Every structure is written in structure tokens, then in C-alpha cells.
Structure 1
Amino acid sequence: MVREMADEEVPAWWRRLGLPGLADVHVHFLPERMERRVWHHFENGGPLMGAGWRIHYREPVEKRLARLGELGVKAFSALAYAHRPDMAVSLNAWTLDFARRTPGCLPSATFYPEPGVLGYVRDALDQGARIFKVHLQVGDFDPRLKEIDDVWGLLADRGVPVVVHASSIPLPGRCTGPVPIAEVLARHPRLPAIIAHLGMPEYDEFFEIAEAFANVRLDTTMTFTDFSELRMPFPGRLKPRLRDLGLAGKVLLGSDFPNIPYPYAHQLHALERMDLGDDWLRAVCWDNAADLLDLTPDHSRPAEDR
């Protein structure tokens, strides 16, 4: 039985694996007013959340950044996502500025099906955006809409990954599930999509998509944890495929920090107790993201100091 570790033990854990640190592609930092609303939603629940949960890292932004540093998270995103028109441009301005002044933060951006979307996505890319996020359940939009078809094509051409919440958690949505995003990928097979939460609970279907498309990956966000296993357990029969996908570069560490109901270390503990080997852990926790995002061990240093 793998012993549960505390946050302060995490650096020793990744050093044991021979890693330079951790790369987490599913981290959230938001403008303060929006962040308060998101936290209220998580903690009080609602139509898309059920009962909700207590956020473990409900702390000022400076303290959260310090915690990531103490954990050894050398590269992380600042994922924001628009849920209505006329949000994405201001969110992108905030997240890109946040990355410029935050060592280790990947320049992150989002988009929404609306007039001008291709132009502002191009602008975000020109400003250095390296990872995007869309949430098909919260945004309640169909990824097959013609308004964003050229956006998917642009990201595919540029090789810029997009974290897509496409699965039916916490509840099925109008445009969630494997079919809509699979049809997008059929039109843009080179798109480097990262399916959030390993596609939970539609694990089988999203594993098939990751196996079918060369540039599709999965992130581990909240998977295998005690919290998720009580509600949507991972099928043990998929462990061999999970191992193969991880070793093939297709599984990336994601956490949902800070919006999680347990310590960060528990996500790593959950990965380790899958018992898929140290090579798999090394691939998931650093190597696969490093290959995708061209990370170096000194990624936490500001770009102008490299």
C-alpha cells in the first residue's frame, strides 16, 4: 500500500524520480472578482456542481504561488475560460499579463464562439500564448460551431495545445461527451487537444480518441483521487491502456489547483498508487509536458533571465 504523503514531502518525491520538478497543465489563476464568483460556485454548489466542496487552497494569490514553488511545480498554466460573449479578450489580457510577471507560468488564453474570435486568438498567440482552455459544459457551446472552426484550425497549424473540458462532469451538458470534440478532431486531426480529467466519466470513449489521434492527450486532473473514486471510479480494466498512453507521451499531470478539496500531494499519491511504475510517473509528471511545451528544467526562471 502506497503511503499517503503530505505537501512538504512532494519535493523529495519528485527528486526520488530524478525529475527537475513538476509540470502541471491544469492550474487556475483568475482576476479577483471572477475568482470570488468561481470559489462561491464551487463551495456552495449549484445545478452543475451538486453539493460543492471546500476549496483546500482558498488563499491569497501570493500564498498560492508560494505553495506551488514549495511543491516544486516548475511549470503551470493559469487557465481561464469564457462562459459568455465579450469575456475572452479581457480574460486573455489578464492571464497573459499574469504570466509575464509570474515565473513558471505558461502564457494561457481562452476563446468563445463570437464575432472577432479568430482575430483575438491570433492576437493572443502573437503575445506568446502557449496553452488555451475551453470548457464546453460551463460555456454551453458546441465545439463544432462554424464560428470557431478556423480557431481550431489555427491552433492545429501553430501546434498550440488547448485543454478541453469535454466530458460529462459534474453533470452531462448540452455539448459534452466524446462525439462533439471527436468531430472537431476529424476535421482538424493535427489539433493538440488535451482532454481534461482523462475524460471522466467517459473514460473508454476518450481513451479511444487519444489512441486514434496523434496529437490528442489527456490530463489527470482529479482522477484516481479518493474524492473522484467515490463518485466516478476509474475502471481497473483500463490500466494497461493508461500505462501505454502515458509512456507514449499522451498523459499529462493536471491538478485543478487551487480549486480542489484535498492537498496537492493527494493527486500525486493517487497517481503513484495506480502502480504503473516510475517511468510512467516520470512521463506524466514532467517529461510529456516538457516535450509538448518545450520546457527546460529552469522553466521557473523569467524568460528574460534565460
Structure 2
Amino acid sequence: MSATEDRSEADDVRDFARRIGIPGLVDVHTHFMPRNVLDKVWAYFDSVGPLTGRPWPIAYRTEEDRRVATLREFGVLAFTSMLYPHKPGMAAWLNEWSAGFAARTPDCLHTATFFPEPGAPGYVRQALDGGARVFKAHLQVGAYDPNDPLLDGVWRLLEDTATPVVAHCGSGPVPGPHTGPGPVGALLARYPRLRLIVAHMGMPEYGDFLDLAERYEGVHLDTTMAFTDFSEEAAPFPAVDLKRLGQLRERILLGTDFPNIPYPYVHQLRALERLGLGDDWLRAVCHGNAARLFALG
């Protein structure tokens, strides 16, 4: 067997980091959740449900400890456990699970979530007191308006504590009742200091979410699935906006959606590299920006 044939994907990912001159990757958009919830998520992808609309084979369908080991083999220095409720009464127990996961997984950034319900500010405060460092909001799956008055106390807490929140707020892969730049723009007008990380670069309303990042210094965007062959087929990133990616270099963060991706992890990195924005940009996106945002050593 030749040396090339003997290479693993982990070798390719680590070589990418070495080539651009970073100690490893920081991935702000990875999913770890209770097994019964994850099984339902995977079953949805397997069914080619209406939110996907096409085959979506899960590339890393393994047990939890194997998935953690895979990220470590890739040289991912820090990652998240993005999880989210789709109805009232779920968020608090999801947060209990994620606190336990973070306690036994020190390279995971302690992640929490919320839903518009009367107890939301209370359990968000409890999660923050317990060490939560990043939150996830999924406006598409949760089908809620981020400006619901039940969330006012939540957004106030996150703004006052400068805690990042990753929000799936773009209308990809299909629009929801409260997706798109309008609801998020209204939210930011009310809480302009929010550290809001727009998942998937705001796909497919890329330009509109770049506008928000230019207007509000706390707005970041993660690269999750953007620029990959899979996403370019359905929602290509506008060539006219490539220059803006360079101008917003300090506000773009690596995200991948691991393990729920239909292609190898390294493809996300190669998709970023082929944008042609240079090694300084790649270093910032794949390590430096998130290391600064989360005060990583």
C-alpha cells in the first residue's frame, strides 16, 4: 500500500491546520445531544423530510465516544454540543444533559439552549451560573419568533453577559415562519450588543446577514455547510459578496455541523480554502476568531 493510500482523513485535516499555521481547529457548530433525541434527528435526515428534500446520508453515524474521538483525531481543539428544543418543556432537561456532557468532555464549550416559555429566563440564568459559554437558538425547527416577549429576559441576559448564541435564522434549506433577516434585524435593533453567531452564513440570504454583521459589531457568521459542493448546488454563495468575506474576516467562524453532514469533514475545510481568500483569512476563521471570542488559551 502506498503512503497516499495509507493516509486517513485525520491526516488530511491535521495537515490543513499545519499548512496554514494554526495549532488546531475551533469548530463552533457541532452537535452532541441525548441519544434518544439524536436518533430522532438522524431518522428525520434518513426519511428525506421536508426540511431537507433530498438524500442526506449521515457521514459520522457512530457512538458518542467515537464521535468525540474523531474530532480529537482531527485536531479540533474546542467544539460545541449544539442542541435545541422543538416544543416547550424540553430546553431545561437538554441543558442538564449538556452540562453533564461538558463536565465529562473538557474540550467541549459548555452549550445550552432555550425556547419561548415562561421559565426560559430562569433556566438560562441557571445554565449561565453553571458555566454555559454558548447557546443555540433554532428558529426554523422551533418555529418561533425571536422577538416573542417570553424571550426578552433571555436576550437581556445574553447581551449583558456577552454570551455568544448560535442562531439558525436563515431560510435554508426551506423557509420557516420566522426565518430570514427580518426577525433577526428587529431583534438586533432591540439588543444591539448581542453576540449573535448566524449559523450557515445565513443561507440562502447571505448578503442580508452580511449586512447585519456590518451594522452590528457583535454579529458573527459561522461557515456551517456553506461553500461546500452540497450547499452550492442548492444555494450558491454570491460571487459578488466574496470581497465582503475578506472585509469581515474577524467575524467569521468555522462551523461544520459534524456529525450530521453528508460528506467528509475535510471537505468543509477545502471548500473554505478554495475561496482563495488567503492563509491569514483561514487562520482567523478556523482558529483565531473563535479562540478570541471564547477566550481560549
Aligned to 1:257: 258
Give matches, 1:163-242, under 5 Å.
163-242=166-245
Separation (CA, whole Å) in 2 of partners of 1:64 and 1:77: 12
Shift of 1:96: 1.1
Q: Does 1:110 align with 2:117?
A: no
**SS, match of residue 75 in structure 1:** strand
What CA distance in whole angstroms lies between the structure 2 residues aligned with 1:47 and 1:11? 36
CA-CA distance at 1:221 after TM superposition? 0.2
The alpha-carbon deviation at position 17 of structure 1 amounts to 1.8
Q: Which amino acid aligns with 2:27?
A: D
Q: Please say if residues 41 and 52 of structure 1, whose CA atoms lie closer than 8 Å, have aligned partners that are also in contact.
A: no
Shift of residue 51 of structure 1? Answer: 2.5
Aligned twin of 2:15: 12
Q: Deviations over 1:232-264 (max 9, x none)?
A: 111111111011111xx2000000000000010
- Whichever residue aligns with residue 236 of structure 2, its letter is P
1:44 maps to 2:42: no
Give the drift of 1:6: 3.8
Q: State the one-letter code of the partner of 1:80.
A: L
- Report the equivalent of 1:292: 293
AA in 2 matched with 1:42: F
**How far did 1:50 drift?**
1.1
1:62 positional shift: 1.1
Matches within 5 A, 1:8-87: 8-87=11-90
User: TM-score, normalization: structure 1?
Assistant: 0.93
Tell me the alpha carbon deviations over residues 41-72 of structure 1, each in whole angstroms, 9 at most, x when there is no partner: 11212122212410000011111111101100
How far apart, in 2, do the equivalents of 1:26 and 1:169 lie? Answer: 16
Structure 2: distance between partners of 1:36 and 1:176 = 25
Q: 1:69-111 CA deviation, whole Å, 9 max, x = no partner?
A: 1100010000100110000000000011101101310000000
Q: Distance in 2 between matches of 1:45 and 1:139?
A: 19
Task: Give the Cα–Cα distance (whole angstroms) in 1 for the partners of residues 12 and 52 of structure 2.
Answer: 31
Specify the alignment match of 1:299 in structure 2.
none
CA distance in structure 2 between the aligned counterparts of 1:51 and 1:221, rounded to whole angstroms: 18
- Spell out, residue by residue over 1:166-189, the C-alpha distance to the aligned partner (whole angstroms, 9 max, x if none): 000110010000000111110000
Q: Shift of the alpha carbon at 1:15?
A: 1.5
Q: Which amino acid in structure 2 is aligned with residue 36 of structure 1?
A: D
Identity of aligned residues (%): 55
Equivalent-residue separation in structure 2 for 1:103 and 1:127 (angstroms): 14
The residue that corresponds to 2:132 in the other structure is: 129
Structure 2 length as normaliser, TM-score?
Answer: 0.96
**Contact map agreement 1:17 1:278 (CA 8 A) in 2:** yes
Unmatched segments (≥5 aa) in structure 1: 297-306
Q: Residue 300 of structure 1 aligns with which residue?
A: none
Shift of 1:14: 0.5
Who is 2:275 aligned against? 274
> What SS does structure 2 have at the residue aligned with 1:173?
coil
Aligned to 2:142, the other structure's residue is in SS state coil
1-side partners of 2:103 and 2:247: how far apart? 36
- Whole-Å separation in 1 of the counterparts to 2:104 and 2:55: 32
